[in-house]
């Protein structure tokens, strides 16, 4: 049995399935969790790989530790999406930080808790975490809460995740950031999805004094480097020197992230820089 990803019309990756652990059509999307010899347990939504046990730290650690260590005094984080629990797990590695997880599809949390427990590592039950089952767009429109960092762990801009790439959503996120706050977004693989980076650049720029991207390499997100969007209310956050990041990261246990990778990740290949117009 095989799983063929359907993200691109001209390109596909195929996984050999050892066992299908769960498959359902939720109220919002098609959800499947299966066992792979190479990647361990795999979560896919609407035919697109979302997380694998083997390489999820490449994504989750960078989404969290780059902004939190660059900021230095984060105490509150909102995670939009991220129902597999990996982002919240990494947030809780930082002392004194509380997290609000806003996930539209309760089934993603329930099935990830059951079949992918290593991703959350108990984070769903941690008293520092508040879980809100809600549309991220509506939550950002209606909430009165503010945060030091907002991390948008969305699917690609299709299905329920499409609205999380709109400028109006970024503007709402900006309103709910505390002074010096940082917004992080998922922006795909620009070698195959160049429009995501360009659109996000143009939509973030009117609302943040510092807009850029940083990169990570996630083997199951095929097509080269993955870009993560950065919108900061304090331009100094992005240029923290290595020794500062090293001091802040002391005692942090990771599988991918290092302070050296943190600093280097903001150096973009020319083909990505050319999309920022």
Strands 147-153 and 177-186: parallel
| Active-site residue identified among 153, 156, 172, 234 | 153
Angstrom distances, CA of residue 271 to CA of 62, 156, 195, 274, 275: 21, 21, 12, 5, 7
Q: Are 237 and 247 in contact (CB under 8 A)?
A: no
Fill in the DSSP letter of residue 37: T
- CB-count exposure of residue 179 (10 Å: 0-12, 13-18, 19+): exposed
Nearest to 93 by CA among 218, 228, 254, 245: 254
153 tagged catalytic:
yes
- CB-count exposure of residue 215 (10 Å: 0-12, 13-18, 19+): buried
Nearest to 55 by CA among 217, 226, 214: 217
Angstrom distances, CA of residue 33 to CA of 9, 13, 196, 240: 23, 16, 26, 39
Strand-pair partners of 51: 43
Strand ranges, E, within 123-261: 129-133, 147-153, 177-186, 210-216, 226-232
Q: What residue spans of 72-116 are helical by DSSP H?
A: 86-91, 106-115
Please list, in sequence order, all residues whose beta carbon lies within 8 angstroms of the beta carbon of residue 76, skipping any fewer than 6 positions away: 97, 98, 99, 100, 145, 146, 147, 148, 149, 178
Residues involved in catalysis:
153
């Amino acid at each position: 049995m095989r799983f063929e990803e359907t993200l691109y019309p001209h390109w596909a990756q195929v996984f050999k399935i050892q066992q299908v652990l769960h498959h359902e059509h939720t109220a919002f999307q098609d959800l499947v969790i299966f066992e792979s010899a190479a990647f361990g347990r795999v979560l896919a939504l609407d035919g697109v790989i979302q997380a694998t046990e083997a390489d999820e730290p490449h994504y989750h650690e960078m989404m969290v530790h780059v902004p939190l260590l660059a900021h230095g005094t984060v105490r509150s984080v909102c995670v939009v999406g991220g129902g597999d629990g990996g982002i919240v797990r990494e947030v809780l590695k930082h002392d004194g930080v509380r997290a609000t997880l806003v996930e539209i599809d309760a089934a993603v949390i329930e099935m990830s808790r059951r079949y992918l427990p290593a991703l959350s590592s108990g984070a769903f039950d941690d008293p520092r975490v508040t879980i809100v089952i809600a549309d991220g767009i509506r939550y950002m429109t209606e909430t009165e809460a503010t945060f030091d960092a907002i991390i948008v762990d969305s699917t690609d801009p299709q299905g329920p995740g499409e609205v999380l790439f709109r400028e109006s959503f970024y503007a709402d996120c900006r309103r709910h950031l505390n002074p010096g706050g940082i917004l992080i977004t998922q922006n795909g693989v620009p070698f195959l999805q160049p429009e995501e980076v360009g659109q996000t650049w143009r939509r973030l720029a009117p609302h943040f004094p510092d807009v850029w991207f940083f990169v990570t390499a996630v083997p199951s997100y095929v097509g080269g480097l993955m870009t993560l969007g950065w919108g900061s209310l304090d331009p100094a956050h992005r240029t923290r020197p290595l020794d500062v990041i090293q001091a802040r990261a002391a005692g942090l246990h990771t599988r991918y992230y290092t302070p050296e990778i943190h600093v280097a990740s903001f150096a973009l290949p020319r083909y990505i820089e050319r999309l920022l117009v």
